[in-house]
Structure 1
Amino acid sequence: MILEDKMMRLSLIHYLIQLLGWRTRRKIVIIESDDWGSIRMPSKEIYKKLLDVGFHVDRCPFSMYDSLERGEDLSALFDVLLSVRDKNGNPAVITANSVVANPAFECIENSDFREYYYEEVTDTFDKYRGCENSFELIKQGMDAKVWHPQFHGREHLNIIRWMKALQREDEVTMLSFKQEHFGLSDKVTSKLKVRYMDALGNVGKETLEEESKIIEEGTRLFEKLYGYRSKSFIAPCYTWRKEIEPVLANNDLKYLQGLSFQQIPVQEDPLRFQSCYHYMGEKNRFGQYYIVRNAFFEPYKGGTVDYVGECLSRINIAFRCYKPAIISSHRVNFIGTLDEEYRNKNLELLRELLKRIVQKWPDVEFLTSDQLGDLITSRL
Structure 2
Amino acid sequence: MINSFKRTLASNLKNIVGWTTNRKIIVFSVDDYGNIRIASQKARMNLGKSGFSIDSNRFERYDGLENANDLTALFDALNSVKDKNGRSAVFTPFANCANIDFEAVKKNNYDKYRYELLPITLDKLEGYHGTWNLWREGINHKLFIPQFHGREHLNIKLFNELISKKDTHLLACLENECFTGLPLNYSKLVPFNEAYSFHSFEENVELSEILTEGLYEFEKVFGYRAENFNAPGAYEHSILEKTMSTNGIKFIDSIVVKKEHQGNGIYENKFRYMGKQNKYNQRYLIRNCVFEPNLVNSKDSIARCLKEIETAFFWKKPAIIGSHRVNFTGIIEEKNRKLGINALTELLKEIVKKWPDIEFMAANELGNLISLKNKHNEF
* Residues 267-311 of structure 1 deviation map (CA, whole Å, 9 limit, x = unaligned): 324xx8544232111111111110010111101213576011000
Q: Is the Cα contact below 8 Å between 1:68 and 1:131 reproduced in 2?
A: no
Amino acid at match of 2:256: S
Distance 1:6-1:341 versus aligned 2 partners, 3 A rule: closer
1:243 aligned onto 2:242? no
Question: What SS does the corresponding residue of 2:146 show, helix, strand or coil?
Answer: strand
The aligned counterpart of 1:265 is: 261
1:168 deviation in Å? 1.7
Question: What SS does the corresponding residue of 2:248 show, helix, strand or coil?
Answer: coil
Structure 1 segments unaligned to the other structure (5+ residues): none
Distance 1:174-1:266 versus aligned 2 partners, 3 A rule: farther
Return the match for 2:174 from 173, 177, 180.
Answer: 177
The aligned counterpart of 1:349 is: 343
Task: Determine the C-alpha separation between the residues in 2 that align with 1:152 and 1:260.
Answer: 19
1:208 deviation in Å? 2.1
1:13 aligned onto 2:7? no
Task: Determine the C-alpha separation between the residues in 1 that align with 2:168 and 2:236.
Answer: 28
Q: Which moved more, 1:207-216 or 1:247-256?
A: 207-216
Task: Determine the C-alpha separation between the residues in 1 that align with 2:218 and 2:245.
Answer: 16
| Aligned counterparts, 1:177-196, within 5 A | 177-186=174-183, 194-196=190-192
Question: What SS does the corresponding residue of 1:58 show, helix, strand or coil?
Answer: coil
Distance 1:307-1:239 versus aligned 2 partners, 3 A rule: same
1:208 aligned onto 2:204? yes
Task: Determine the C-alpha separation between the residues in 1 that align with 2:186 and 2:142.
Answer: 44
1:162 aligned onto 2:159? yes
Question: What SS does the corresponding residue of 1:67 show, helix, strand or coil?
Answer: coil
Q: Is the Cα contact below 8 Å between 2:89 and 2:360 reproduced in 1?
A: yes
1:324 deviation in Å? 0.2
The aligned counterpart of 1:138 is: 135
Task: Determine the C-alpha separation between the residues in 1 that align with 2:148 and 2:23.
Answer: 26
Return the match for 1:77 from 74, 77, 89.
Answer: 74
Return the match for 2:278 from 259, 279, 284.
Answer: 284
Task: Determine the C-alpha separation between the residues in 1 that align with 2:298 and 2:349.
Answer: 21
Task: Determine the C-alpha separation between the residues in 2 that align with 1:216 and 1:178.
Answer: 30
Distance 1:73-1:273 versus aligned 2 partners, 3 A rule: farther
Amino acid at match of 1:84: V
Identity %: 36
Question: What SS does the corresponding residue of 1:355 show, helix, strand or coil?
Answer: helix
Amino acid at match of 2:19: W
1:132 deviation in Å? 2.5
Task: Determine the C-alpha separation between the residues in 2 that align with 1:185 and 1:29.
Answer: 36
* Residues 143-200 of structure 1 deviation map (CA, whole Å, 9 limit, x = unaligned): 22211111111101111111111112223222222222222354xx767765111100
The aligned counterpart of 1:324 is: 318
Q: Which moved more, 1:34-43 or 1:338-347?
A: 338-347
The aligned counterpart of 2:230 is: 234
Q: Is the Cα contact below 8 Å between 1:185 and 1:192 reproduced in 2?
A: no
Q: Is the Cα contact below 8 Å between 2:293 and 2:339 reproduced in 1?
A: no
Task: Determine the C-alpha separation between the residues in 2 that align with 1:85 and 1:113.
Answer: 50
1:103 deviation in Å? 1.1
Return the match for 1:120 from 114, 117, 120.
Answer: 117
Q: Is the Cα contact below 8 Å between 2:298 and 2:339 reproduced in 1?
A: no
Given the two structures, how large is their TM-score scaled by the length of structure 2? 0.93
Amino acid at match of 1:234: N
Task: Determine the C-alpha separation between the residues in 2 that align with 1:121 and 1:291.
Answer: 26
The aligned counterpart of 2:334 is: 340
Question: What SS does the corresponding residue of 1:42 show, helix, strand or coil?
Answer: coil
Return the match for 2:195 from 193, 199, 208.
Answer: 199
1:203 deviation in Å? 4.8
Q: Is the Cα contact below 8 Å between 2:237 and 2:262 reproduced in 1?
A: no
| Aligned counterparts, 1:304-315, within 5 A | 306-315=300-309
* Residues 63-83 of structure 1 deviation map (CA, whole Å, 9 limit, x = unaligned): 111111100100010000000
Distance 1:103-1:182 versus aligned 2 partners, 3 A rule: same
Amino acid at match of 2:363: S
Task: Determine the C-alpha separation between the residues in 2 that align with 1:146 and 1:284.
Answer: 30
**CA-atom RMSD in angstroms:** 1.9
| Aligned counterparts, 1:29-40, within 5 A | 29-40=26-37
